[in-house]
Structure 1
Amino acid sequence: MDYSVGQVAGFAGVTVRTLHHYDEIGLLSPGQRSAAGHRRYTDADLDRLQRVLFYRELGFPLEEVAALLDDPAGAPPGRRPGEDPAGHLRRQHKLLTGRIERLRKMATAVERAMEAQKMGINLTPEEKFEVFGDFDPDEHAEEAERRWGGTEAWAESRREAASYTKEDWKAFTEEMNGIHRRIAGLLAEGVPADAPEAMDLAEEHHGFISRTGYECGHDMHRRLGEMYVADERFAATYEAIRPGLAVYMRDAITANAARAA
């Protein structure tokens, strides 16, 4: 069976002008002509057109598409170059798989950029790595927004974060790391979480949040402490500093909140 140029244009969603151009450059020449000399496309021509459009969708220029379709490598005995359907399918699958992976990485990068924007952290990726190291401040953005997105504290934290420079973040990170190291030191020494020195460090942690992020009442601070244990992402951050630190932090924060009340 054969088809007119208009029919093929309708099947493929391209213009007649495009099919004429493909014919003129030898990319897709119809296998037959009518008695009046009009182009008539065969099923084999439609198969080739499908491959042309596939490679074009992947961004290949027309000259490279022609080379791919007419590549003699892998053509089985008895077939002309470019006539190995299985070979083209394998190539298409490989190209699609690669493109899917690239698009997945691009989507992830865009999602992380969106999260960073929500958090108001206006640092480049290089600056974030320099400041935070292996810890990713964007990782908890979605959870934080879900919990507090409609609160004044959330709005305040975004305003504050948007104003900070790379040097500010480096100073804050070092200060927080210092608090964590001292609390971990108390844990290592066996000091109870409700001992005055542990509660004092919990209060310092509370004050740091209020000063650099948002006004954090002791009740909110206590709920943060609960999240440090309940949320595996936060727990992993503290457990990496010292095993048992997530629970110790929570207990010290809870004791300090009770003392403040």
Structure 2
Amino acid sequence: MPESADHRTVGAAADLLGVTTRTLHHWDAVGLVRPSDRTAAGYRLYTAADLARAQRVIVYRELGVPLDEIGVLLDATTGEGLATLRTQRAQLRARIDRLQQMAGAVDRMIEARQSGILLSAEEQVALFGPQWQPAWVDEARALWGDTAQWIQYAERAAGRTTDEWRQITAATDALHADLAAACRSGLRPGSPEANALAERHRDSFAPYFDCTHAMHACLARRFVTDPGYTGFYDSLAPGLTDWLHDVIAGNARVHGIDPATATWI
């Protein structure tokens, strides 16, 4: 039988359905959609009924139904087909919920990368104290926005709850109090106790980004040259900025880092 509008070859059927000939060959091999006729030369010909069945396969496939279940649906009684479709509908709804959650997470990630922190200015001051300036976040983004550390910060901040921010703030406040007390007591930089405090200070950056000893030494150099940092640390204890610089430098040496030449790695 020659090809006609009601009898199409594999290539013509594939073009009409928007699938590949390989797909139709596979469906034929697994018994899902088999061409009903052949040409005199033995080539497969798809009838209108075959094409209609193939179109139903495409619809079910788009819905995420596995091929082995599609065959059951196509040949099932009404009751059996409804049960399978209801199961598939439940699975689709669950998938939609997961995708919506993922979309929400991506939205938070986008916002975090753009803004740096998913808290309003009022929430930031309430959490971090009256000395906190929300403009610091914009300054940080302008300074480090193109770095891998900013990306880490955004990724970690995107999913953080207010309670988690409170815990981080409480731990940081406790660290600052201990640093100020150690500075006032005259604790010697390079001593085991000072090195332990330096490690706590380095670890305090972990909620934001992975801080190596070399990075920590770079930050220490910035503390003594940036008026914002100097003003903050010296407000906790006179001379704390210089003392903390020396404490971090001493700890860096213990870990094989020259604080004077350390780079941001």
Output the TM-score relative to the length of structure 1.
0.52
Q: Which residue, out of 129, 135, 139, partners 2:125?
A: 129
Q: 1:172 Cα deviation (Å)?
A: 0.7
Counterpart of 2:180 in structure 1 is 184
**Secondary structure in structure 2 of the residue aligned to 1:181:** helix
Counterpart of 1:218 in structure 2 is 213
Q: Which residue, out of 225, 228, 239, partners 1:230?
A: 225
Q: 1:146 Cα deviation (Å)?
A: 4.2
- 2:249 is equivalent to residue 254 of structure 1: yes
**Secondary structure in structure 2 of the residue aligned to 1:230:** coil
Structure 2, unpaired ranges of 5+:
1-110, 257-265
Counterpart of 1:157 in structure 2 is 153
Report the AA paired with residue 190 of structure 1. G
The CA distance in 2 between the partners of 1:160 and 1:119, in whole Å, is 13
Report the AA paired with residue 170 of structure 1. R
Report the AA paired with residue 215 of structure 1. D
Q: 1:259 Cα deviation (Å)?
A: 0.8
**Secondary structure in structure 1 of the residue aligned to 2:251:** helix
The CA distance in 2 between the partners of 1:208 and 1:136, in whole Å, is 17
Q: 1:137 Cα deviation (Å)?
A: 5.4
Report the AA paired with residue 187 of structure 2. V
- Deviations 1:75-105 (Å, cap 9, x if unpaired)? xxxxxxxxxxxxxxxxxxxxxxxxxxxxxxx
- 2:181 is equivalent to residue 175 of structure 1: no
Report the count of equivalent residues.
146
Determine if contact 2:117/2:137 at 8 Å carries over to the other structure: no
Q: 1:162 Cα deviation (Å)?
A: 2.1
What is the Cα-based RMSD across aligned positions, in Å? Answer: 2.1
Q: Which residue, out of 203, 211, 222, partners 1:207?
A: 203
Report the AA paired with residue 178 of structure 2. R
The CA distance in 1 between the partners of 2:116 and 2:176, in whole Å, is 24
* Cα distance change on mapping 1:128 and 1:176 into 2, 3 Å: same
Counterpart of 2:51 in structure 1 is none
Determine if contact 1:183/1:198 at 8 Å carries over to the other structure: no
- Percent of counterpart pairs with the same letter? 31
Report the AA paired with residue 235 of structure 2. A
Q: Which residue, out of 217, 235, 244, partners 2:239?
A: 244
Q: 1:233 Cα deviation (Å)?
A: 0.6
Report the AA paired with residue 213 of structure 1. Y
Output the TM-score relative to the length of structure 2.
0.51
Q: 1:200 Cα deviation (Å)?
A: 0.7
Determine if contact 2:118/2:158 at 8 Å carries over to the other structure: yes
Determine if contact 1:202/1:252 at 8 Å carries over to the other structure: yes
**Secondary structure in structure 1 of the residue aligned to 2:194:** helix
* Cα distance change on mapping 1:118 and 1:244 into 2, 3 Å: farther
Determine if contact 2:112/2:155 at 8 Å carries over to the other structure: no
The CA distance in 2 between the partners of 1:139 and 1:199, in whole Å, is 32
**Secondary structure in structure 2 of the residue aligned to 1:246:** helix
* Cα distance change on mapping 1:259 and 1:119 into 2, 3 Å: farther
Q: 1:142 Cα deviation (Å)?
A: 4.3
Q: 1:227 Cα deviation (Å)?
A: 1.2
Q: 1:149 Cα deviation (Å)?
A: 2.4
Determine if contact 1:219/1:257 at 8 Å carries over to the other structure: yes
Counterpart of 1:144 in structure 2 is 140
Q: 1:244 Cα deviation (Å)?
A: 0.6
**Secondary structure in structure 2 of the residue aligned to 1:122:** coil
The CA distance in 2 between the partners of 1:143 and 1:218, in whole Å, is 24
The CA distance in 2 between the partners of 1:246 and 1:155, in whole Å, is 28
Q: 1:119 Cα deviation (Å)?
A: 4.6
Structure 1, unpaired ranges of 5+:
1-114
Moved over 3 A (4+): 115-119
* Cα distance change on mapping 1:259 and 1:236 into 2, 3 Å: same
The CA distance in 1 between the partners of 2:227 and 2:143, in whole Å, is 16
- Deviations 1:29-54 (Å, cap 9, x if unpaired)? xxxxxxxxxxxxxxxxxxxxxxxxxx
Q: 1:184 Cα deviation (Å)?
A: 1.1
